[in-house]
């Protein structure tokens, strides 16, 4: 099964952003995970379009943009123009989710649906066939450095079964609390993509940490 590591730049050193990008560029990671927070959907504010524009200029890796914002439809085109390859939007923030997914696809980007820890997997039954990946939150969104919520393992297995029962190629992305200690059990449960923040950027050897996560 496909495995991808997506270092989360929320945990990077913004005073040394170019150096951090160069490290990821030279690593085994395929994606860069970019968290956008608005202070409304989540109780925090991160970075936005200008930062993503600069990161896009410095990398050929997939820019995986996670929108933790209300009314994401207003900004889909702007994030596309900034260089996003993937956009995930929250099921909890989108009253017209199918329309929002169509909008992301209309710009040629991969579309994902992010799901908070309290949201049941069966809420994806009628949209799973229309999306490229599910961003399954394994912490409560808004802050880095949180511990992995163990119940997420059950949700991964439920989601993997849903995907296989429908004979789909939808990928499962796990976002939050990923470490060297739990990466194997997360992959074994059925995940494809691990978003890793502190476990990469705070590691003594970040490039080796990415390899270790992939090969766990």
pLDDT 10s digits, 133-164:
999 999 998 777 778 999 999 999 999 999 99
Q: How confident is the model at residue 193 (pLDDT cuts 50, 70, 90)?
A: very high
pLDDT of residue 109: 98
Annotated binding site for substrate: 8, 66, 142-145, 175-177, 197-198
pLDDT of residue 145: 73
Q: Which residues pair with 68 in a beta bridge?
A: 37
Residue 126 has pLDDT above 80, yes or no: yes
Q: How confident is the model at residue 105 (pLDDT cuts 50, 70, 90)?
A: very high
Q: How confident is the model at residue 200 (pLDDT cuts 50, 70, 90)?
A: very high
**CATH number of 168's domain:** 3.20.20.70
Annotated binding site: 8, 33, 35, 66, 142-145, 175-177, 197-198
pLDDT of residue 143: 76
Give CA 41 to chain center in angstroms.
16
The answer to whether residue 35 is catalytic is: yes
| Structural domain boundaries enclosing 34 | 4-214
pLDDT of residue 144: 73
| φ, ψ at 7 (rounded to 5°) | -60, 130
- The reported pTM is 0.96
Of all residues in the chain, the percent with pLDDT exceeding 70 is 100
pLDDT of residue 40: 95
Q: For 81-109, what is the mean pLDDT?
A: 98
What gap in Å lies between CA 82 and CA 216, rounded to an integer?
34
Q: For 98-111, what is the mean pLDDT?
A: 98
The answer to whether residue 175 is catalytic is: yes
Which among 35, 38, 64, 132 is annotated as catalytic?
35
* Contact criterion met (CB below 8 Å) for 67 and 135: no
Q: For 195-203, what is the mean pLDDT?
A: 95
pLDDT-wise least confident of 31-35, 73-77, 136-140, 145-149: 145-149
Query: What does pLDDT average to over the chain?
Result: 96
Non-local (6+) Cβ contacts of 58 within 8 A are: 18, 21, 22, 25
Residue 91 has pLDDT above 80, yes or no: yes
**Total domain count for the chain?**
1
Rg (C-alpha) for the chain, rounded Å, is 16
Which among 38, 64, 132, 175 is annotated as catalytic?
175
pLDDT 10s digits, 46-69:
999 999 999 999 999 999 999 999
Residue 84 has pLDDT above 90, yes or no: yes
Non-local (6+) Cβ contacts of 106 within 8 A are: none
């Amino acid at each position: 099964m496909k495995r991808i590591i997506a270092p989360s730049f929320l945990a990077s050193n913004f005073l040394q952003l170019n150096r951090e990008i160069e490290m990821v560029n030279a690593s085994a990671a395929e994606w860069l995970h970019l968290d956008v927070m608005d202070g409304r959907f989540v109780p925090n504010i991160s970075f936005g379009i200008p930062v993503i524009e600069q990161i896009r200029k410095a990398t050929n890796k997939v820019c995986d943009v996670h929108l933790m914002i209300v009314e994401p439809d207003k900004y889909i085109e702007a994030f596309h123009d900034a260089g996003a390859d993937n956009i995930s939007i929250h099921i909890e923030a989108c009253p017209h989710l199918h329309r929002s997914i169509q909008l992301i696809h209309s710009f040629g980007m991969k579309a994902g649906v992010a799901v908070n820890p309290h949201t049941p997997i069966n809420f994806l039954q009628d949209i799973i066939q229309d999306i490229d990946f599910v961003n399954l939150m394994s912490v409560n969104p808004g802050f880095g450095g949180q511990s992995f919520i163990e119940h997420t393992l059950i949700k991964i297995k439920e989601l993997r079964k849903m995907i296989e029962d429908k004979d789909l190629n939808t990928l499962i992305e796990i976002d939050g609390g990923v470490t060297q200690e739990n990466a194997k059990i997360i992959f074994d449960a059925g995940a494809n993509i691990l978003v890793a923040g502190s476990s990469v950027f705070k590691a003594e050897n970040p490039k080796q940490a990415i390899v270790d996560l992939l090969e766990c």
